[in-house]
Structures are given as structure tokens and as C-alpha cells.
Structure 1
Amino acid sequence: MQSRLKMLTDGKPFLLLLSSVFLALRICHGGKILIVPLEGSHWVNMDIMIKALHSRGHSVDVVRTNESWYIKDDSPHYKTITLPVTEAFNHDFVNPVLKKIIDIERGKSSVMIFASLQVEMFSAMFNVHRIMSKMATIMFEDNNLMNDLRERKYDLVLTDPAWGAGIMLAHALKLPLVYNVRWITSGEGHLAIAPSPLSYIPMTGSGLSDKMSLIQRVKNLIFYVIWQAQDRFLIDPQYQAVCDQFFGPEVRYSDLLRGADLWLMRVDFVFEFPRPTMPNVVYIGGFQCKPSEPLPEHLEEFVQSSGEHGVIIMSLGTFVNELPADITDTIAAAFARLPQKVIWRHKGKRPATLGNNTLIVDWMPQNDLLGHPKVNLFVAHGGTNGVQEAIYHGVPVVGLPLFFDQYDNLLRLEERGAAKLLTINTVDKDNNFLEAIQEVLTEPSYRMNMQRLSRLHRDQPITPLDHALFWIEFVMRHKGAAHLRTESYRLPWYSYHSVDVMLFLLTVALLILSLFVGLVWSCFRWCLKRKIKSD
């Protein structure tokens, strides 16, 4: 027995050495990934992907600016490449835009609201992509930086294509390109690569579902034209100018955008309306979701104090720090009339009507709260991350959308009977907010429908995050995924829609018809001449 123990004890250094060798081999065989992310909530879920990639032995570099809003310079999971800029997409850019949008949406005339919102969104989009184009120009003009990036021999570029710097960088470095995507510079990602019949695929901002009447289909077409005009006249030309300067006019930015090897799409069909798709689109909706962890002690104590009534949580996401004072007073007064306890992420002035049942916090562990059994309702703005976490944990939603895709996200939940949707200009009218909360809390169908969505979402052979990691590593192993990529994006519109084929066939048919008519006419004239001669 003693000899055996001695052998096991003596073997410990060997086991430690073997483990060290294994870990070293794992790191050596890990890939090198260059990431060009977006700021705000987009960075939050990109950071989750980065941590997962790092845990699998991959080396990750992240491109950021010196004015970065969310992306920190120091991290154990990645190294940063910092670009010096004078203007960036951060809170100084976002806050004035949000204030204008809220003021516009609270106007009286629906026609004027629509027109003003389009003008404001056009202006905001133009300026965002102007900033990004300038960032790309700074990057490409820095020869030392570009040479350094080439020498690092990355395996792929992973980018958020809601702006175009990462797309063009992948082309400059001749690297495989993977998207962490739902939105691209021209709008919703599917529209760029997959057939998208407007008869049942609603456009972002239209407020429509996949079941449309004739008038609604007309409205959907109008929104499609608006998105196309925005891309063609305001967005694409800015990135094309960068391509012209550094790659030559023969390189089309639109081709680079649609030519990615893999599209990791941050939705699934529990949430999204069914639609055509492509082989290189991999659905990873809810990849950032995970089982809840214990709450901090002060929050757990507050939650437990709710008794049988339970808890409501409210958050309006990354971008929104505060709403107008009269709206926050209305919300606070509505909460004060409820028997439930409320945890509200709010950074603005403390509402005058705040009740004793409401706890205001600067930050909340949203995923952990949604997974707590005492949380009965989520008041949310409709961002993709929050909506997917609500689905994952089966918590019904009262939605207060503010801009971009938030209304459409909440509409998808409402269509499935799992949410109640309000607009910002109706919150403070006729107790709408209070009645919406009471309806969702007291009508069991909301919770039942959301829990059904949760069961559907969770019923997968592997987690969405593991699915994403597999496909990223697949692209690294095979130096791209060209066999999954359709070449349709290289076709001109008239070839894509077979207009040239139809014109060719029509021309052939007309020629045959002309020959037939000519032959009949010749026969008729010949017969007529013979008849005249015989007479």
C-alpha cells in the first residue's frame, strides 16, 4: 500500500507537466482572430463571444478607438488595437439623437411624426457611417498599422456589419470574414443575401407582421423604398469612396458586404417570422443567455420582501439613461399603485411620484433577475438582447419601444401573445401604462405563451453559443466557407430577377410569331394571286 501511495505521489509532477504540455498545445493550436465590433449593446454580446473564444485557446485582438464608449483597453480575454480619432459613436453622439426622437414621437400629427422621424433617422445614419468611414480611412492610411496587422497572420475577421470598417479591413487583409449580425449597414441582414418577398416579410420600422392586407403590403413597399434610398444615397456612397481610394473603383463595397463567408444571425425562428434563408446563415439567437446566478445580497433581500405578489423589473437598455420628467413621473406613479415590488434601472432625476415599493438602481444583473422565480414582468424597450433574455427565462413583457428595431422586436412578441406593446406618446395618457401592466400580470395567457416560447427556444441539441463557436472554428479550419456562399450577390438586378431571360424569351417568341405571320401572309397573297389569274 505504501509503495502505491508513493507511486501516486511521485506521479504528481508528471501529471502537472502533462497538463501544462496539453494546455500549451491547445494554445499553440488556437487561432488568431481580429475583431472589429460595434459599441453599446452590440459590444455586450460581442464580448460574450470573445470570452468564449478565449476560453477555447484562441488569441483575440479588438479594434477600438481612443474615444471608445464600452470597449475597455485592458482585458484578460483580448488585446486592443486603438485608433486615434476625433469623433466617435458614443454617448455624446447618441444622447442628442435619442432626445430628438422622443420629442418627435410625442408630437400630435401622425404624418408629421413619420416625416420628422425619417429625417432624423436619415441624418443620424448618415453621420454614424460618416464617422465609421473616417475611422476606416485613418486605419488604411496608417501603413505601419496595416503592415503590423498583415504580419500577425490572423485566421479570420469577426465583425459586426452594422458599420463597414471591419468588412473593408477583411478585404484589405485578404482574410475570411464572419459576421456577428442581425443588422448591416443597409438594414436587416437577410435582405442583402436571401430572397425576401415583401408580401410576407415586413420591413424594419413598418410595424407590420407576416400577415398583411393589401394596404399593409403597400405600406411595406414604401418602407422598402425608404430603406433602399437611405442605403443608395446616404450610406453606400460613403463606404464606396473609401473603397475607391484604397482598393480601386472595381471593388464594390456592396459586394464586400454580401460576400462574407458566414453570417452568425442573432435571432431564431422562435422569435423571427419564418422566411427564406441561405446555407451560410447560422442562427444563434439567445447565445448570450444563460441560467441565472444568485443575486447580490441587497437585491435578493428586496426581491424576497415582495411576498406572494412578486417583482417587476424595468430597464430601457444601454443607450437610454432617462426619459422626460413627466413620463418618468407617470411611470413611477403607476408603479406606486401596484402591490408588486419594482426594480427600475434609471439614471435620471429621481421621480417625484416614486413609491416605497420601487427600488431605483444604476445597474442591474438583468439576466439573473429575469431568471429569478419571483420576477413576474419585464418592462423593456425592446432591444434584441433583452427580448431574447425574456424569452429564455419565460418572463412576459410590457414594451416601450423608442427607436430603430425595438417596435418590431416587441411586435413579434405581441403577435405570439407574450407581450403588451405601448408607444412613448401614449404612456402618460388615460392610465395606459398602469392598465397594460395589470393586464399582463393578471391574464395568465401572457406568461403561458412566453413560457411556451422559452421551451421552444431551449429545445436545441447544442447551445446557440456552442453552435456559433463551432462555425467560427469551421471557417478557421477551412480558410473560409466559399462552398456555402451563394454567388447571387454578384449578379446585376436584371439577371437576379431573370428580367434578361424573360426579355430574351419574349424576343424569340416575337420573332417566331413574326415569321409565322409573315409566312401566313405570304401564303395568303400567293393564293390570292392564283385566284385572280384563274378568274
Structure 2
Amino acid sequence: RYERSVITQRLTCLELADVQGGKILVFPVDGSHWVNMNLLIQSLHARDHEVTVVRTSTSWYIKENAPHYRSITVTLPEAISIEDQDFFVTFLVKMLTIQKEGASLIGFVKFSWEMLGALSKIHQQASMLGVEIFENKTVMQSIRDTQFDMVLLDPGLPVGILVAHELKLPTVYNVRWITSGEGHFVVAPSPLSYVPVSGNAMSDKMTFGQRVKNTFYYAFNTFIDKVVVCPHYDRLVSRYFPDQKFYHLLQGADIWLMRVDFVFEFPRPTMPNIVYIGGFQCKPCKPLSSELEEFVQSSGEHGFILMSLGTLVKGLPIEITSEIAAAFAKLPQKVIWRHAGERPNNLGNNTLLLEWMPQNDLLGTNGIYESIYHGVPIVGIPLLFDQFENVLRLEARGAAKVVDATKITHQNFLETIQEVLHNPSYRNNMKHLSALHRDKPMHPLDTAVYWVEFVIRHKGASHLRTESYKMPWYAYYSVDVICFLTADISTFSVLALGRVVSVDRSIHQLGPD
């Protein structure tokens, strides 16, 4: 009954928001980001929009030919590093080594320097996409001749912002992450007293020490963005738009489709042009293949466990996977493990290894939100990037338990799984989150499509966008006003004090009479 109601709502909302097929230029980011973007593109194509995707010739996931979009393929002088899966494997191995062995300060500094160098190189390579497009007159003329209605882009690698500015087209971001971290921090007020900064796995209830740490993370992230990342795009902007600033172009999007749901995210200030579409990829499950269905059903009343490390990591080091396998082998549940690395030791008969699996049909794609959607509690093993913050948010809500990958033994991993399996609070809390997440007037994917079409219909959404980002910092934070008022009060106080002293002297001169 619920699903029929949702389908009816979706059809009704889309009929009300009907718009003639538009022409949409898309600048995606490869890897896991493309999984999200591709789903949105498919929905737009189903609504008769003409979608054109800009990709590089070395794209990892983004294919040149697809039934739901046409592509513009650009050849770069050097492939972007993140289009190579081995980049993430190498990064993970180095990071785990430092965490596990407690490397020296010199070793940590060396690793950090290497990572900053790699980050700079990624954005330098990405910025070349802009050069290749702007300098290729044939490509630019072809883009102009198509007469696109808008640009849809992922600002993690923000070259598309410059192309949109050149074409004078409205922009919609499919976003969570930008060059400096979480997108809210450049578009909405973000008080550091209760809004955790990217990379700082804390809740919104911080002690004094944690607030100090949060401020440090913010300063560090800002420093990296200004010194390591943005110079590549600043040079690009200076070359083609000398009267503009890169960050002003970045902050000037019409709509931010934020892949966030406050069922999961901590509450924070927002803005009218931020639209929340967290869980937009969630959908009901389809029937499993006969082989998988037989394996799942063979577990009987015990059920099954799904193990996945996401799209970026081929596999953990063998010493870690062998500990995990040994723990799984002691469970009565069947285990389906998406695993592409070296076969672990101690693998039990109850564990099935697959290089690919229909994750949504078993549970859901993208892990966190699908677990919420299906009401399934989590044992989290955070490895990279925002995974630490994500599992902390679920742990704070009593729907997950976290295991440190560098400290996994078969015993502590087994105990953690058994706690989540047998303590009903984890499942009950996740069921509650699932009920909250599903209780919406409109499916998040339809919300995303609606706002894309809104921008096409009205040629932008500037009425929802504040221009405060163009203010100098001292005006934004009212430093000039505070200084003026302080000077005013000081002047008044000095004059008043002088008046009192003058009156006092006059009284003394008059004498006791």
C-alpha cells in the first residue's frame, strides 16, 4: 500500500512539473560519484530531456556510448589520477600502514606531503580539461550550436563551472563534496561550535576541546583548498575570465542538489537554493537470480550478512580480510561478500565471494542510505574520506557499530557482529530512521528532477541565491560595523568621561558652599 501511494505521488508530482524536453550539459566526476550522477541522468532521459555528458578518453566508469546520453570525449595530455582504481588502493595501503604501525612524525609528514602533492596533481590534471575545451574551437562551437538550457555538474572537479559561465547558462550541482570539503561550508552559514568540519568525525555536541579541534580542521581544510587546490582553477579563471574570481563562480550556482537527509545528517543552517535529495538512489528490491536466491534461503531463520567496501576499493590487505573471514566462518548466517582482491584465508563454507553483486536487490547501492531505506543495521569499517563521519552519524543514532580496520581481529569483529545481530536496539533504531526517511511527500529522485526542470523552465533560480558570497570578509562578518560601533562607543565614553571630569572640577572650584 505504501509503495502504491509513493508511485501515485511521484506520477502526480511529475505531471504537475511537466516541462518540454530540455538540453542538459553534464560535467560528472568519475568513480562512485558517477553512480549517483548516472541515476539522475537516466531519470532526466526518461522525461525526454536530451543529455550530453562531457568525459575524458580515460574515464573509468563513464562510457562513451550509452542509450540515455550522448557524450563529448576530451583527450587530456595526462589522465586524471582518480580515473585509475590503483590510486585508491595505494592510498588506502599507505594510510592503514601509518595508522597500524604508529609511524613516526617524520613518516606521517612525508605521507601527508605525498598526499597533498597527489591532490594538487589531480586538480592540475582536471583543470586541463578546461584548457582543452576552451582551446578546441570545434568543440566549443559544437557546444554553443547545441544551445543547451542548463549545466548539471559535480563540483568535486569544478571545470564545468567555467564552461557554464562562458555559455551564460544556469547551473545545478549534484553535490555533497566540493574542492574544500562539504558543500554547505561555502553556501550556508556553518557555525563551528556545532557543525562538524569535513574530516573531523564528531557529532554536533562538542566539548570545548572538540570545538578547538573542529576549528583547527576548518583552518587546515581552508589552507589546503587555498594553497593546494584552488590555484589551478584560479589560473584557469585568470586566463579566460580575468574579471572574475573562481570562488565566486563556484558559489554562484542556481540550485544545490545536496545528497543529504537530516534523518542521517546533524541539523545545521541551510539556504533556500539547497535542495535535499539524500537517498535519491533508493528503490524497492527486484527478485534475485535463482543462484543467489537459493544461497540466501539456505540460511533459514538466521538470515544473511552483506559485506561490501564500496566502489573505490578493490580489497583490504590479506591480513585484515583473513581475520574478517575467520569471524564470518563462526556465524550461522550466510555471508555474501563483494570482494575483488586476493582470496582471504580462513574462508568458511557459509561465505560467498563475488566480484559484483546486485547490491540494491540484496540491500541497496551506496551502503549507508540503502541500509537506512531498508532498515538494516550496520557494522561499519571506515577506510577512506567521509566514511569515518558517515558511520559516526549512524553510531550516534544507535543504528551502527564501528570497527577500526587497523585493529580488527577475528574475535573482536565476531563480537561486534553478534552485538549488532542480537541487541534489538540497533535494528529498532534503524527501523525508526527508515520510517522517518521514507515519510516524504515526494521521492528524493523526483525532487531532484523537479528542480532541474524548474531551472530549465525559469532559466535559473537567482531569486533563491544570496549574493553574500561577493561581500568582502570584513563586511560579511560585520567586522567594519563592530569596529565603527566600538570606535563610536569609545569616543562617546571618552567625551562623557571628559564631561564628568570637567563638571567635577567645576564643583571643586565652587568650594564647599
> Fold match, TM over 0.5?
yes
Residues 69-89 of structure 1 deviation map (CA, whole Å, 9 limit, x = unaligned): 000011110000000012223
Inter-partner Cα distance in structure 1 for 2:173 and 2:19: 25
Partner of 2:418: 438
Partner of 1:285: 278
Partner of 1:354: 347
Residue 119 (structure 1) shift: 4.1
Q: Are 1:176 and 1:260, in contact at CA under 8 Å, matched by a contact in 2?
A: yes
Deviates more, 1:137-146 or 1:29-38: 137-146
Inter-partner Cα distance in structure 2 for 1:423 and 1:126: 29
Residue 352 (structure 1) shift: 2.2
Q: After the TM superposition, which residues 380-459 of structure 1 pair with which residues of structure 2 at under 5 Å, given as runs?
A: 385-428=366-409, 431-459=411-439
Residue 79 of structure 1: which of 32, 54, 70 is its match? 70
Q: Does 1:44 align with 2:35?
A: yes
Residue 510 (structure 1) shift: 2.1
Residue 336 of structure 2: which of 324, 334, 343 is its match? 343
Q: Does 1:496 align with 2:490?
A: no
Return closer, same or farther for 1:207/1:109 CA change in 2, 3 Å cut-off.
farther
Give the partner amino acid of 2:484. F
Residue 102 (structure 1) shift: 2.5
Residue 97 of structure 2: which of 91, 94, 103 is its match? 103
Inter-partner Cα distance in structure 1 for 2:32 and 2:195: 25
Partner of 1:515: 495
Residues 106-137 of structure 1 deviation map (CA, whole Å, 9 limit, x = unaligned): 22269789756654543332222122112222
Partner of 1:194: 188
Inter-partner Cα distance in structure 2 for 1:455 and 1:242: 47
Q: Are 2:19 and 2:453, in contact at CA under 8 Å, matched by a contact in 1?
A: no
Partner of 1:22: none
Q: Are 1:27 and 1:57, in contact at CA under 8 Å, matched by a contact in 2?
A: no
- TM-score by length of structure 1 reads 0.88
Partner of 1:251: 244
Return closer, same or farther for 1:87/1:324 CA change in 2, 3 Å cut-off.
same
Residue 216 of structure 2: which of 202, 222, 234 is its match? 222
Unmatched 5+ residue regions in structure 2? 1-16
Q: Which secondary structure does the structure 2 equivalent of 1:343 belong to?
A: strand
Equivalent pairs counted in the alignment come to 494
Q: Which secondary structure does the structure 2 equivalent of 1:313 belong to?
A: strand
Q: Are 1:97 and 1:124, in contact at CA under 8 Å, matched by a contact in 2?
A: no
Residue 274 (structure 1) shift: 0.5
Residue 300 of structure 1: which of 282, 287, 293 is its match? 293
Return closer, same or farther for 1:225/1:27 CA change in 2, 3 Å cut-off.
closer
Residues 440-483 of structure 1 deviation map (CA, whole Å, 9 limit, x = unaligned): 11111111111111110000011001111111100111111011
Identical residues among aligned pairs (%)? 55
Q: Does 1:486 align with 2:484?
A: no
- TM-score by length of structure 2 reads 0.92
Return closer, same or farther for 1:117/1:278 CA change in 2, 3 Å cut-off.
farther
Residues 131-174 of structure 1 deviation map (CA, whole Å, 9 limit, x = unaligned): 21122222222122112211211111000111111112111211
Give the partner amino acid of 1:293. K
Inter-partner Cα distance in structure 2 for 1:169 and 1:186: 20
Unmatched 5+ residue regions in structure 1? 1-25, 372-383
Q: Are 1:31 and 1:476, in contact at CA under 8 Å, matched by a contact in 2?
A: yes
Inter-partner Cα distance in structure 2 for 1:343 and 1:116: 38
Residue 523 (structure 1) shift: 4.7
Q: Are 1:104 and 1:116, in contact at CA under 8 Å, matched by a contact in 2?
A: no
> Whose RCO is larger (CA < 8 A, sep 6+)?
2
Q: Which secondary structure does the structure 1 equivalent of 2:367 belong to?
A: helix
Q: Are 1:73 and 1:80, in contact at CA under 8 Å, matched by a contact in 2?
A: yes
Q: Are 2:127 and 2:236, in contact at CA under 8 Å, matched by a contact in 1?
A: yes
Q: Are 1:105 and 1:424, in contact at CA under 8 Å, matched by a contact in 2?
A: no
Q: Does 1:267 align with 2:248?
A: no
Inter-partner Cα distance in structure 2 for 1:171 and 1:423: 44
Partner of 2:12: none
Larger Rg: 1
Q: Which secondary structure does the structure 1 equivalent of 2:335 belong to?
A: strand
Q: Are 1:244 and 1:251, in contact at CA under 8 Å, matched by a contact in 2?
A: yes
Partner of 1:208: 202
Q: Are 2:391 and 2:400, in contact at CA under 8 Å, matched by a contact in 1?
A: yes
Residue 525 (structure 1) shift: 5.5
Residue 219 (structure 1) shift: 1.2
Q: Does 1:505 align with 2:485?
A: yes
Inter-partner Cα distance in structure 2 for 1:528 and 1:438: 87
Q: Are 1:105 and 1:113, in contact at CA under 8 Å, matched by a contact in 2?
A: no
Inter-partner Cα distance in structure 1 for 2:48 and 2:160: 23
Return closer, same or farther for 1:199/1:118 CA change in 2, 3 Å cut-off.
farther
Inter-partner Cα distance in structure 1 for 2:148 and 2:343: 49
Q: Which secondary structure does the structure 2 equivalent of 1:35 belong to?
A: strand
Q: Does 1:469 align with 2:449?
A: yes
Partner of 1:23: none
Residue 496 (structure 1) shift: 1.0
Return closer, same or farther for 1:200/1:121 CA change in 2, 3 Å cut-off.
farther
RMSD across aligned positions (CA): 2.2
